[in-house]
Amino acid sequence: MTDSMSSLASSLANKRILLGVTGSIAAYKSAELVRRLSEAGATVQVVMTEAAQAFVTPFTLQTLSGRAVHTALMDADAEATMGHIEQARWADLIIVAPASANFIAKLVQGQADDLLSAICLASEAPLAVAPAMNRQMWAHEATQANVATLVERGAKLFGPAAGEQACGEVGPGRMLEPDQIVAMSAALFDTGLLAGRRVLITAGPTQEDIDPVRYISNRSSGKMGFSIATAAAEAGAQVTLVSGPVALATPERVTRVDVRSAEEMLAAVAANLDGQEIVIAAAAVADYRPLQVATHKIKKQAGSAQLSLEQTPDILATIAADKGDLFVVGFAAETERLEENARLKLEKKSLDMIAANRVGSERGGFDSSENALKLLWQEGGVELPMLPKEKLARALVQIVAERFDAKDSTKNS
């Protein structure tokens, strides 16, 4: 891969790609495509139509993807483990490569009589099709009309290329090479919505020492903040991530500053605030810390023990108090009266936006791979449903970019 391709491909790290393989001789290239997507860091789930299995075996693609290939809609075992609706929700992107003329026609008609077409119909994920067929089939007005309809509905068209075809003819209809499909897929995640913007994000918990071996902390895993950092970097921002202690790898193209306590987080944020345009505070900062940190390990004594606490500095309120043109987004973690409590924080801390999430319930919130958010601002808000945190973060970044642009244009008008 060239340098520019490998940097594009980095946007595929941790992405969930559902690769649909349909009946075309170009299906042999799918094996290489699975390998390339996996090398770029994506998790690849292959779904094959019956016709595709005449050209390449599920076993080959299973071996390369490391995941069982799904082929049938009415398969009780497969539906029990990961049903078609779940697969539709799972995907960050669906790529149909190769896409035969027949499968493209099925997509246009909204058919759902096999697993792949049912998934495509049930999914909100972006859809990319890489056609592969004989040049006459491609040129036929029925195919051209079908492709135009798909594009009009928002599908991305990858190719086809022109050249020598398996049937011996020469012309357009060849599937793009796997490297080209990987680069075009990666580019779909690089939205450019925050191109050139400087964004500071806080994530994870803080640890407030009691003595040399004990501390007060919370269950934040950092996943929400790290997903936002990834999404902001993919949107073209220059991202600084100030993180409490978490067990997560630093997202690509993100500058990370590690801290432990609220005091350290405040100092790191202050040291990195100059020149920032957007701050997103997803960290679960401890509200209280021990009044005194014992120099030696506190000994166990008979009876109960008391710990005197004092408030930590409020990092978000400190930033927002003097924010100028800075666009400040806070989080609100609430167990009750979600919107009411979040709106109070929005007002009290003079924020541009607050992302309210319910915590302490069965799904979402702390240390979960999914979450739901209510985004609120002075004049309105929008609700984002329960989604994997990576997807939720992309939706959040899109709305932050829109609100930031609106504020920016009001300022400049």
**# binding residues, ligand PMT (CB under 6 A):** 28
Q: Out of 54, 148, 162, 167, which one is annotated catalytic?
A: 167
23 or 204: CB nearest ligand PMT:
204
Helix 101-109 and helix 115-122: axis angle, to 10°?
A: 40
* Residue 177 CB-density burial (10 A; 0-12 exposed, 13-18 middle, 19+ buried): middle
Contact assessment for residue 133 and residue 25, using Cβ atoms and an 8 Å cutoff: no
Which two structure tokens, joined as six digits, stand for 87?
């697969």
Q: Is 243 in the site for ligand PMT (CB under 6 A)?
A: no
Per-residue x/- track, 334-373, ligand PMT (CB under 6 A): -----------x-----------x-x-----xxx------
Residue choice 177, 314, 405, 408 for contact with ligand PMT (CB under 6 A): 314
Q: What is the largest CA-CA distance in the chain?
A: 90
**Binding segment toward ligand PMT, per CB under 6 A, in 24-32, 128-136, 178-186, 276-284:** 276-284
x/- track of binding to ligand PMT for residues 3-42 (CB under 6 A): ----------------------------------------
Which residues are bridge partners to 230 per DSSP? none
For residue 160, whether the previous peptide bond is cis, meaning omega lies within 30 degrees of 0, is yes
Report d(CA 242, CA 268) in Å as an integer. 7
List the structure tokens of 227. 């997903």
Identify each DSSP E strand in 176-313 by its residue range: 198-203, 208-209, 215-216, 238-243, 254-258, 278-281, 288-290, 309-311
Give the nearest distance from C-beta 223 to ligand PMT in angstroms. Answer: 4
Nearer to ligand PMT, 128 or 396 (CB): 396
3-class secondary structure, 149:
helix
Q: Could you give the CA distance from residue 230 to residue 267 in angstroms, rounded to a whole number?
A: 23
Of the candidate spans 64-72, 231-239, 283-291, 392-400, the one that interacts with ligand PMT by CB under 6 A turns out to be: 283-291
Please count the other Cβ atoms lying within 10 Å of the Cβ belonging to residue 291: 9
Binding of residue 98 to ligand PMT (CB under 6 A): no
Instruction: Take residue 408 and report the two structure tokens written for it.
Output: 């920016």
- Which of 282, 328, 338, 399 lies at the binding interface for ligand PMT (CB under 6 A)? 282
Q: How far is the CB of 234 from ligand PMT (least distance, A)?
A: 18
Question: Pick from 15, 174, 223, 403: which binds ligand PMT (CB under 6 A)?
Answer: 223
353-358 vs 370-377, strand pairing mode: antiparallel
φ and ψ at residue 344, rounded to 5 degrees: -60, -40
Q: How far is the CB of 220 from ligand PMT (least distance, A)?
A: 4
Exactly one of 55, 138, 327, 331 binds ligand PMT (CB under 6 A); which one?
331
* Shortest spacing between CB 230 and ligand PMT, in angstroms: 13
Q: Which residue has the tokens 């702390």?
A: 366
CB of 364 to ligand PMT, least distance (A): 8
Considering the complex, what minimum distance in angstroms separates the CB of residue 85 from ligand PMT? 25
Is there a catalytic annotation at residue 120? no
Given the DSSP bridges, would you call strands 327-334 and 278-281 parallel, antiparallel or unpaired?
parallel
Q: Which of 312, 384, 392, 397 binds ligand PMT (CB under 6 A)?
A: 312
Nearer to ligand PMT, 233 or 346 (CB): 346
Chain positions 174 to 213 lying near ligand PMT, rule: CB under 6 A, are 202, 204
Collapsed DSSP state (helix, strand, coil) of residue 239: strand
Please, how many CA atoms are within 13 Å of residue 205, restricted to the half-sphere of its CB?
19
Cis-peptide into 205, omega within 30 deg:
no
Which stretch in 47-55, 128-136, 160-168, 311-319 sits in contact with ligand PMT by CB under 6 A? 311-319
Of 21, 34, 237, 333, the one binding ligand PMT (CB under 6 A) is: 333
From 44, 42, 13, 91, select the one nearest 388 (Cα to Cα): 91
262 binds ligand PMT (CB under 6 A): yes
CB neighbours of residue 288 within 10 Å: 14
Told to check if 330 binds ligand PMT by CB under 6 A, we report yes
Residue from 42, 99, 241, 332 binding ligand PMT (CB under 6 A): 332
Contact footprint for ligand PMT (CB under 6 A) = 202, 204, 220-224, 262, 281-285, 287, 312, 314-316, 330-333, 345, 357, 359, 365-367
Residues forming the active site: 167
